[in-house]
Amino acid sequence: MYDPGARDLRGKRILVTGGAGFLGGAVVETLRRRGCARIAVPRSRDFDLTDATAIDALFRRERPEVLIHLAAVVGGIGANRENPGKFFYENAIMGIQLIEHARRFSVEKTVVAGTVCAYPKLAPVPFKEESLWDGYPEETNAPYGIAKKALLVQCQAYREQYGMNAIYLLPVNLYGPRDNFDPRSSHVIPALIRKALEARDSGSDELVVWGDGSATREFLYVGDAAEGIVAATERYDGEAPVNLGSGEEIPIRELVELVAELCGFRGRVVWDTSKPNGQPRRKLDTTRAEREFGWHAGTSLRDGLRRTIDWYESSAGAAPVNALATGLG
């Protein structure tokens, strides 16, 4: 049921970049459940969001009143290490040009999704939004994190100079059905699920995982993230960035054990300590989200993993895993 106390999005023209992707698809579904029918989802084959001319054509066609920018070039540690320039340039240029066009076309509300990778490597845990500028991000994903963090500066600068209503959200690592399970570019949970299931089905007695298992992560179920983004679109108009997280921090070693259990893999885990752990710890303080727009995550990690594994096992056309080791996102 639509909340009468929130901004009414039902009649708005809403443009969701990345709306055909993992997070974007969940956001579009959430908007539709709210009664929104005028949702535009640009596809990369039709509109290259790194090209200002294509963005201009998109805005002229759709005339959005609300922009939710979720499109991103992302991946786990391996993909970040192989593509630092691409991840920096494409994420920065997409966001900068989209926010500028939102200004030029007088978009009423702009919502930009940042990343937990923007936080300093050694930020105090749990990460508070005030710590965002207190150091350099973890090296393996710093180009991606800095590119996304630059968009926060743009949102705040445009608010100050032009009065633009632009908000910035910081989701923690996401997972769930329809995630990217390609071992060359996936984040830790889909990579682990795929490898554990295929090791189980092939009768393998070992599962190779990057690092030593000591790093910790927080994971947010994609449906919860979508609810948080839509709630912020409806209810939050502030300049300060806002964390979106689950509040559950788990060591990678325990995560691997949980995924193996839920997947029915009974072999041993082999830790490849020649590979990096990534950021030592990740856990967000989500006080601001609950205070400002009444949002908190509702899906436990075990329940979310079970749903994700069930979806993957029932989905068609999963290609065999290749020889790449699992990387940590």
3-state secondary structure 92-151: HHHHHHHHHHHHHCCCCEEEEECCHHHCECCCCCCECHHHCCCCCECHHHHHHHHHHHHH
- 194 in Cβ contact with 321 (< 8 Å): yes
Task: Quote the pTM value.
Answer: 0.91
Instruction: For residue 238, give the nearest of 297, 286, 289, 284 by alpha carbon.
Output: 289
pLDDT at 71: 96
CA distance 305 to 46: 34
pLDDT at 184: 79
In which residue are the tokens 């979508």 written? 226
Question: In Å, what is the CA distance from 211 to each residue of 43, 145, 159, 279?
Answer: 36, 21, 42, 11
Strand partners, 168: 112
pLDDT at 6: 81
pLDDT at 275: 86
pLDDT at 76: 74
CA distance 306 to 219: 14
pLDDT at 4: 55
Tokens encoding 84: 């630092």
Eight-state DSSP code of residue 1: -
The set of residues, in sequence order, having a beta carbon less than 8 Å from that of 27 and lying 6+ positions away, is 16, 19, 68, 70, 226, 229, 230
| Structural domains of the chain, ranges and CATH numbers in brackets | 14-175+219-244 (3.40.50.720)
Q: Which of 2, 89, 119, 144 is catalytic?
A: 144
pLDDT at 276: 81
89 part of the active site: no
Tokens encoding 281: 């710890």
Q: Which segments in the chain show pLDDT lower than 70? A: 1-5, 316-329
pLDDT at 3: 59
